[in-house]
Chains A and B, each alone.
Chain A
Amino acid sequence: MLDAFIQGLFVVFEWQTFLIMLLGIFLGFWVGLLPGLGGSTTLALMLPFIYKMSPVEAFAFLLGMHSVVSTTGDITSVLFGVPGEGTTAATILDGHAMAKKGEAGRALGAALMSSLIGALVGAFALALAIPVVRPLVLSFGAPELFMLAVVGIAFISSLSGQGGRALLRGFLAGLLGLLFSLVGQDPQAGVQRFTFSQLYLWGGLDLVPVLVGLFAVPEIVDLAIRGTSIAGELPQGNLGRGAWEGVKDTFRHFWLTIRCSLIGTFIGIMPGLGGGVAQWIAYGHAVQSAQDANERSGFGKGDVRGVLGPGAANNSKEGGALIPTIAFGVPGSSAMAILLGAFFMQGLMPGPDMLDKHLTLTFSMVWTMVIANTVTVVLSFFLLNQLAKLTMVPGSILIPFILFLAFIGSYTSNNHLGDLVVFLFFGFLGYLMIRSSWPRAPLVLGFVLGRIAENNFYISTIRYGPSWLLRPVVIILIVLTLLVIVYPLLRFRKGRQAAEEEPT
C-alpha cells in the first residue's frame, strides 16, 4: 500500500497530468468565485471532455477543479455576502461581518488557510480510511442517519444565542426551516405537499436560491442603508498584513480548525447528509467553543472563529465525500454523483476494486486534492490584497453587480423563473428575520436536515419496527443529542447566576 501511496504522487506530477490539473484548478477558481456557476453543474459540463483522457488525467482535471471550488467560494462569501457556492454560506455570517469592519484581508486569510487545512485533513482522512472505510460506512444505517439528523437539529439550540428569548426565536427559525424542507412530493404516499399546484415546487425548494436570498439580500439592504462601501468609513489597516493576520488566527485556533475539519470529513463520509450540513455544524461547534456569553454574542458580528469553522469544514467534507463514492459507488454529495459518471466513462467500477487493483489511481486522487488546494491557496494569497480592495468600492457601484450575481446565481439552480421567486421570498424573509432578531442559521439547518430526518425515520420504522431505537450507535447518538441540548442551557444558567452575583 505504501508504494501505491508514493506512486500516486508521482503520477500526478507527470507533465501532462499536472498541466491538466492546473487547467482544472483555473476553471474551479472561477466557478467557486461566481455565484452563477455551480460546482456540480460545471463538473457535469466537463464530463464530455474527459472521454479521451487517461483515468489519472481525467480525475486530476475533475478533482483539481472540484476541490478548489469550496475554497474560492469562501472568497465571495466574505467579500460580498453572497454565497459563492451552496456550501460556503456559513462563512458569510462572520466573514462578511469582518469585511464590514474593514478586516476583509484578515477574513480572507483565515478562510483560505482554514480551507487548506480542511482540505489536507480531508485528503489525509481519505488516505487513512481506505483500509477501514467499508466497515465504517456499512455500520451507519438509516436509524443512525436519522439520529445524526436529530443531533444536527438539536444543535440549533446552540446557534440561537444567549437568553431564553433568543432560544425561543432560534427554535422558531429551526421549525420554520424544517417546514420549508417538507415542500414537494412525499416519498411515502407520493402526495404533493405545499406545492400550490406549481410544477416547479414538485422537487421541493432548492438550497441555492434559498441561501442566496436569505443571506445576500439582507447584506445588500444593509449596504444600501449605510450608503458607504462594504468596509465602511473605518480606517483601513494594511489589507495585505490583514491576510497574514488571518493565517495566524488559523494557527491560534489550530485545534478548533482541526476539529471542524474532522466534523466536515465525518459528515462528508456519511452518504445522504449532503454538502450543506457540514459547514453549519462546524459553525455551531465554533460558537460553542466560545468561553462565555459575551464572546458568544460576538458571533455573527465578526469573530474569526466563525470563519475558520465553516472554511475548514466545507473543504474537508469533499475528501470525506470521496470515500463512499470510491468505495461503494454511492455519492457522498451531488458533485460526487457526477464524478461517478466519470468513473463509468473511464470504464472503472467504484467498489472494492478501487481500493485494491486501482489503489494507485485512488491515491493519485488524494494527492490531486492536496496539491490543487495548496496551489490555489498560495496563488490566491497573491490576489488577496487586490480582492480585499473591492470592499472599498462605493456601495452604489457594487450593489447592481451583487444583485446581478445573486439573481443569476439563483436562476442557474433550475433555469426557471421560479428560482427568482424563491430568492425574493427568502430574501424578504431574511430581512425580516434580521430585523426581528431571529437567527438564520437554525432555519438553514432545519431546512437542510428536515427531509433527511423524515425519510430515514420512515425507513427505520418500516424496516425494523420500533427495535431500531435499541441499536448501540443510536443510543450513543441519543445521549449526544441530549448533551447538545443540555450543555448550552447549563452554560446559560451558569452565566445568569454569574450575572446575578455581580455587584451592581
Chain B
Amino acid sequence: MKRWNAKLRILSWAIFLIGMPVFVWGASPYEGKTLTIVVGYKPGGGYDRYARLYGKYLPKHIPGSPTIIIQNMPGANSIIAANHLYSVAKPDGLTIGTFNNALTTGQLTKVEGVKYDLMKFSWIGSAASDAVILTVRSDLPYKTFDDMRKAKEIVIGTTGPGSSTHDFPSILKEFTGVNLKLVPGYSSSADVMLAIERKEVDGRAGSYDSIKPFIDRGLVRPVIRNRISAPGIENLPVDEELTKDPKGKAIMAVNAAPTRIYRPYVAPPGTPADVMKILRDAFANASKDKELLAEAKKSKMTIDFASAEEALKVVREVLNQPAEMAQEIGKYIKFGD
C-alpha cells in the first residue's frame, strides 16, 4: 500500500497544484487511477451487491475509465465505514463509499460511536429507494387494517431492535392500536420467513425488496407500508395515516425518510467540486445504463437513483428534528447491528 499511496499522493498533489489548466486542457483526474468503493458490510449482502454492480458499469461513465475496487469495512452496522469515510479517507475523489441509510437516525439520536456528520459528506446520491412494509402469512384472514385491529394478537418475528424488522412494527403497535406481539431474537430475516412457514410467527416487517420474492411465492401478503411507494404496493394503507397522534406521525415520518435514500453513496467531506460533478454524473448515467438495468433486473435489485440534492434534503429533514423529538425517536428506533 505504501507504494500506491506514495504514487497516488504525488499524482493528486500534482493535479491540485497544476490544477485547473491541466483540467481545462482535458486531462481527466481518473486517467489510469483506481477508484475505491468502501462498503460498510461484508461481501454478499445487499449493499455489497449494489456496489459491485455499479463498480462493473461505472468505468464506462467516468472519463479516464479508472479501475474500480470494492473494499469491505464491516462493523457496527456500517458506522465504522462511515467514520472512516468521514475522517480517514482522503477527499481526492479516489475513495467513495456506501453505508446503511439508517445512519441518519443514528446521527439524530446521538448513538454512541457516531463520529460522522451526514450533512458534511460530499454526496453523490442514492442508487435505490425502498419501502418498508408489514406482511402477514397468506393463510391468515386479515385483509384490511381494520381486520388487523380487531385481531386478538398478531405475532411478528423480528431480528431485534435496530432493524426495520423490529422498529416498524414496534412503532405501529404503539401508535395505531394494532395488537402486535413482537418476538425478537431471530438471527436473520430469512429465519423469520422460515418461522412464518412453521406458523411459529404470523408475519414479518422489513424492506420490500427483500420480502418481495416471498410475496411472489405466495407465502406472505403485504398489509401496511411506509410512505415510500413501489410497484405492487401502491394501494396499501400508509402507516402515517393510520394514527391520529401527531407524535406518532412525526416518528413514522422520520423513520421512513431515510428509506428514500436506501443505498446512499458519498465521498469524503471536502472533495473538490469538479471531481464531485464527475462522480454524480457517472452514477446518474450508470443508473440509466441499459446493461446495468438488465443485470439489476435479473438479480432482483431495483434501481431508483436519487440525486445528491434530494439526498441532502432527506438528511436535512431528519436531522432538523428538535431535541425532544430526537429523544422520543430514540425510544423506538435503537441502533443495532
Contact = CB atoms under 8 A, between A and B. Distances in A.
Answer yes or no: A and B touching, Cβ < 8 Å: yes
Interface in A238-289: 271-272
25 contacts: A41-B42, A41-B43, A44-B44, A47-B52, A51-B295, A142-B200, A189-B161, A199-B79, A199-B80, A199-B113, A200-B80, A202-B76, A203-B75, A271-B194, A328-B194, A329-B190, A340-B190, A344-B213, A344-B300, A345-B298, A346-B298, A349-B217, A414-B75, A416-B80, A459-B195
B49 A341 contact: yes
A311 interface: no
A415 B73 contact: yes
Contacts of B334: 190
A504 interface: no
B185 A272 contact: no
Interface in A321-338: 324, 328-331, 337-338
A445 B287 CA distance: 47
Contacts of A137: 194
Nearest to B181: A462
A452 B161 CA distance: 17
Nearest to B46: A341
A200 B76 contact: yes
A328 B185 contact: no
A48 B198 contact: no
Interface stretch (A8-16, A180-188, A216-224): A180-188
A353 B81 CA distance: 39
Interface in A437-461: 451-452, 454-456, 458-459
Contacts of A458: 183-185
Interface string B79-111: 110010000000000000000000000000000
B298 A51 contact: yes
A98 B195 CA distance: 44
Contact of B159 (A187, A330, A416): A187
B197 interface: yes
A463 interface: yes
Given A199-B80, A200-B80, A345 B336 contact: no
Residue of B44, B200, B214 ringed by the most chain A CB atoms within 10 A? B44
A96 B190 CA distance: 37
A197 interface: yes
A141 interface: yes
Contacts of A414: 42, 74-75
Interface string A370-391: 0000000000000000000000
B216 A349 contact: yes
B134 interface: no
A187 B71 contact: no
Given A184-B337, A459-B186, A415 B76 contact: no
A62 to B, nearest CB: 12
> Which 3 residue pairs are nearest across A and B when measured between Cβ atoms?
A44-B43, A187-B160, A190-B161
Contact of A337 (B72, B159, B188, B299): B188
A45 interface: yes
A463 B200 contact: yes
A43 interface: yes
Given A200-B75, A330-B191, A341-B49, 15 more contacts: A44-B48, A48-B56, A141-B198, A142-B195, A190-B162, A202-B336, A329-B193, A329-B213, A337-B190, A340-B190, A414-B74, A415-B72, A415-B73, A459-B183, A463-B200
A40 interface: yes
B201 interface: yes
Nearest to A328: B194
A202 B75 contact: yes
B183 A415 contact: no
Nearest to B73: A415
A490 B42 CA distance: 47
B187 interface: yes
B96 to A, nearest CB: 17
B233 interface: no
B191 A271 contact: yes
Residue of A51, A324, A452 ringed by the most chain B CB atoms within 10 A? A51
A324 B112 CA distance: 38
B243 interface: no
Interface in B174-226: 181, 183-188, 190-191, 193-195, 197-198, 200-201, 213-214, 216-217, 219
B65 interface: no
Interface in A30-70: 40-41, 43-45, 47-48, 51
B77 interface: yes
A463 B186 CA distance: 12
B155 interface: yes
Interface in A193-222: 197, 199-200, 202-204
Given A44-B44, A185-B160, A328-B194, A199 B74 contact: no
A470 interface: no
A466 interface: no
A138 interface: yes
Contacts of A51: 295, 298-299
A164 B112 CA distance: 46
A346 B76 CA distance: 31
Contacts of B185: 142, 187-188, 454-456, 458-459
A347 interface: yes
A147 to B, nearest CB: 15
A495 interface: no
Contacts of A197: 112-113
Given A44-B42, A462-B183, A141 B216 contact: no
Contacts of A138: 197-198
Contact of A330 (B80, B193, B299): B193
A298 interface: no
Contacts of A459: 157, 183-186, 195, 200
Given A185-B160, A324-B194, A337 B155 contact: no
B184 A349 contact: no
Contacts of A346: 298
Contacts of A202: 75-77, 79, 113, 336-337
B139 to A, nearest CB: 14
Interface string B273-308: 000000000000000000000010011100000000
A41 B191 CA distance: 21
Nearest to B115: A199
Nearest to A274: B187
A337 B46 CA distance: 11
Interface in A298-357: 324, 328-331, 337-338, 340-341, 344-347, 349, 351
Contacts of B184: 187-188, 458-459
Contacts of B181: 462
A414 B299 CA distance: 26
A337 B300 CA distance: 16
A190 B191 contact: no
B75 A188 contact: no
A120 to B, nearest CB: 27
B44 A40 contact: yes
B75 A344 contact: no
Interface in A418-441: 418
Given A185-B336, A330-B193, A463-B155, A43 B75 contact: no
A58 to B, nearest CB: 12
A272 B187 contact: yes
A9 B56 CA distance: 34
Contacts of A141: 195, 198, 200
Interface string B144-159: 0000000000010101
Contacts of B295: 51
A204 B74 CA distance: 12
